Amino acid sequence: MEDKVFWQDRPVLVTGSTGLLGSWLIPRLVELKSDVVCIIRDWIPRSKLLLDGFSEKVKIVRGDICDQRLVDRVLNEYEINLVFHLAAQTIVGIANANPVSTFESNIKGTWVLLESCRKISCVRGIVIASSDKAYGDQEKLPYTEDMPLRGKYPYDVSKTCADLLAQSYAHVYKLPVGITRCGNFYGGGDLNWNRIVPGTIRSIIRGRNPVIRSNGQLVRDYFYIEDAVEAYLLLARHLVEDQSLHGQAFNFSNEEPISVLDIVLLISKLMGSELAPVILNEPVNEIKDQYLSSEKARNMLGWKARYNIKEGLELTIGWYRNYLSNERRKS
């Protein structure tokens, strides 16, 4: 079945629509002519989704993903066929400072969504956004999907719990759930400046030394956002067409782990900057090394990343140069 035929007119719900992934996934769904419905809690005019004018091309419901009645109503009234559950509090520092609000958004928001789907017969696929953080600290790397989930820090715990909830609903209630576990997304449109990629790019554009809050030695996967979008679309389609995948989790990564310091140095090189990073070496509640194997996704879904980290960063730098240049002209 051709992609355009599969997606055309299909009613799709996206939660977390103004986040980085949602802001890239929704335009792709619109391009594929899906009937897109978004649940949005906070109206963020500077988000990429709204800046690019896509709020006028989708159906928007204002509300909180933790509101069971609202989610029930949306799934029923719009006869939702596919769900992308992206809504979450995604900032590790905020999770450490405000664990309860993070647990509320990430855990309760997930069980509310799954419970609504359990009651709606028209839902044929549900993609739940977990994270590599759900694995917690493991003796062996890279992470593979057969490893136990054992997050310890607040954000990691929230993702472990959401992941296990999704597996439970798939196993007990036969929901057509698929789970994604990805590393750190990056790409144009991420306005959380305390994240290392957008924060470094903005600092260099403004002539400031980039700041690394940790010691710079943490190793992570950095996953370009357009690759993430295609991974989510591919998994969703497979969930509809292959019931044997229901309840399974898939790692998605370009399999190029890199330290925080090295990615800052690579960004500086690509931008022609000689500004040295300032390393604060502040203690952080994070695991030292985290990165993924995508072997399962390659073998079972036929997936592979299109962009290496250099290519993804070049596209990302271009987006921020344009965005910040327009901001200066408006001020």
Euclidean distance between the first and final Cα of the chain, in Å? 49
Task: Name the residue with tokens 């903005």.
Answer: 202
Q: How far is 271 from 263, CA to CA, in rounded Å?
A: 12
**What pairing do the DSSP bridges indicate for beta strands 248-252 and 177-182?**
parallel
**What pairing do the DSSP bridges indicate for beta strands 82-85 and 59-62?**
unpaired
Which of these is catalytic: 135, 155, 224, 232?
155
Q: Give yes or no: 155 in active site.
A: yes
CB 58 within 8 A of CB 30: yes
What is the Cα gyration radius of the chain?
A: 19
Q: Report the b/e string of 86-121 with b at 16+ CB within 10 A.
A: bbbbbebebbeeebeebbbbbbbbbbbbbbbbeebe
Give backbone dihedrals phi and psi of 189, rounded to 5 degrees, phi first: 105, -10
What DSSP element (H or E) covers 155? Answer: helix 154-173
Q: How far is 162 from 156, CA to CA, in rounded Å?
A: 10
Catalytic residue annotation: 155
